[in-house]
Structure 1
Amino acid sequence: MSPIIQFDRVSVTAHEKTILVDISFALFAGEKAALCGKSGSGKSSVLRTLLGLHTIKSGAVYFQQQRLTASTIQAIRSCTAYIGQEPILGAESVRDALLLPFQFKAHRQYRPTEARLIEALQRLQLPADILNQESSRISGGEKQRVALARGLLLGKKLYLLDEVTSALDAESRQAVFDVFSDPDLTVLSVAHDPAWLELCGIVLELEAGRLTLVKRNGNA
């Protein structure tokens, strides 16, 4: 079996500063990996590099054995749900935010019913009446879970997550854990939450843009 994601000795510079140095790791379908380290160590830069938001100075990134280039990046983005610490939902109401991708031709035929919207929200400990709330008025943790719900509705299989449990209470955090226990979902995340790190089968520690430790947990 080939990895779904592979970094092969990747170095990245941004604004004339080296932010990643000689990074190598592989992630197979269904695996859950967490990037950890001090602030500024390069964790989020790994996610941004995979999304084509940083220029690779040397080495290569592969997605499903296809090398990441300007012409192939769209294939990665179409398969991926990226949820940052403060997601931009892109619509005035939560309902419109969830339905936004289904306005496009590629997803129009899969537009979810009201029942499916509510089911996706409830999986993430969000009440049905949040659908009628303004996106700008819900909390950061709620925005993250709405963005996760949108990914689930779209059937995304690869999730890039940046501290998605940092603003959640214990019950909401457990709901997120339960969703990502699904063996069909592949996860590359930035995290400091010890419980999330324990959930992940692979922990990648970074320091000053370098990968210093790859740890495989016993539950991998």
Structure 2
Amino acid sequence: MSSAILEANNLSHKVKSQWLWQNLSFSMKSGDRVALIGPSGSGKTVLLRTLSALAPLQQGNIRFRDRELSEWEMPQYRAQVMYLPQRPALPEASVEEAIREPLSLRVHRHKQYDRAAVSNLLEILDRDKAFLVKQTSHLSGGERQIVAFLRAVMLQPTVLLLDEPTASLDEKAATAIEAAIASWIDKGNNRACLWTSHNPLQLERVTTRQIRL
């Protein structure tokens, strides 16, 4: 049995006649903090979406917890291998309602909303409880990224696929998100993250190895 949580084997992806990447293989183990790097247009977002089963798998195979991607029901898989886009879509609601909303889905109904944990994360992120009553329609791009992160960690995934998760945040808030992600990995069993960022200094801080496209 493999010790990897998530494995990508010989992945290839073509857009029209152009290969973005070919025969790409790597694995992620518990505690891994991996940087996904490459020039603009190299397909970093496409790879994250492919790993999360939000984009089609053209060639190769993906294994999660020693099972082929095809063996998983997609809601169950996506609940554990979770993609955070750079510009998250949120429902028109209060922040707290937006965080709670995914718990109404069948795949998450066994999970409990933990307001204390949310409050602790808000403290790390230098936001008070008043943030929970703000309307999502009034949030800045950076605040929307904070809400998307809170939604994700409340759902207790195994792998976070982070697509520029702090791109719209100031330095203080970005550092807080980095600390929150590190804490999330350290406090759980078999958790890992794959991270893209245009800031190479950030990737040096938050990751321990790189995958280059």
The TM tier, using the shorter chain, reads: 0.7 to 0.9
2:5–2:65 CA contact under 8 A, matched in 1? yes
Provide the C-alpha distance between the structure 1 equivalents of 2:114 and 2:36, rounded to a whole number of angstroms. 36
Relative to the length of structure 2, the TM-score reads 0.85
2:31–2:192 CA contact under 8 A, matched in 1? yes
State the percentage of identical aligned residues: 30
Alignment partner, residue 143 of structure 2? 142
Alpha-carbon deviation of 1:108?
A: 4.2
DSSP 3-state at the match of 1:69 = helix
DSSP 3-state at the match of 2:165 = coil
Specify whether residues 75 and 112 from structure 1 end up closer, same or farther in structure 2 by C-alpha distance, changes over 3 A only. closer
Alignment partner, residue 42 of structure 2? 41
RMSD: 2.2
Structure 1: gaps of 5 or more residues: 207-220
1:202 matched to 2:209? yes
Provide the C-alpha distance between the structure 2 equivalents of 1:203 and 1:85, rounded to a whole number of angstroms. 20
More helix as a share of residues: 2
Structure 2: gaps of 5 or more residues: none
Specify whether residues 127 and 195 from structure 1 end up closer, same or farther in structure 2 by C-alpha distance, changes over 3 A only. farther
Q: What do the CA deviations read for 1:70-107 (whole angstroms, capped 9, x no partner)?
A: 85433320213321111112242211101102223454
Relative to the length of structure 1, the TM-score reads 0.83
Alignment partner, residue 188 of structure 1? 194
More strand as a share of residues: 1
Alpha-carbon deviation of 1:6?
A: 1.2
Alignment partner, residue 58 of structure 2? 57
2:84–2:162 CA contact under 8 A, matched in 1? yes
Provide the C-alpha distance between the structure 2 equivalents of 1:57 and 1:111, rounded to a whole number of angstroms. 36
Q: Once structures 1 and 2 are overlaid, which stretch shifts more, 149-158 or 8-17? A: 8-17
Instruction: Give, as a single letter, the amino acid of the residue that structure 2 aligns with 1:197.
Output: L
Q: What do the CA deviations read for 1:3-30 (whole angstroms, capped 9, x no partner)?
A: 1111111112345653331111111121
Alignment partner, residue 26 of structure 2? 25
Q: How many residues align?
A: 206
Alignment partner, residue 176 of structure 2? 175
Specify whether residues 192 and 55 from structure 1 end up closer, same or farther in structure 2 by C-alpha distance, changes over 3 A only. same
Alignment partner, residue 210 of structure 1? none
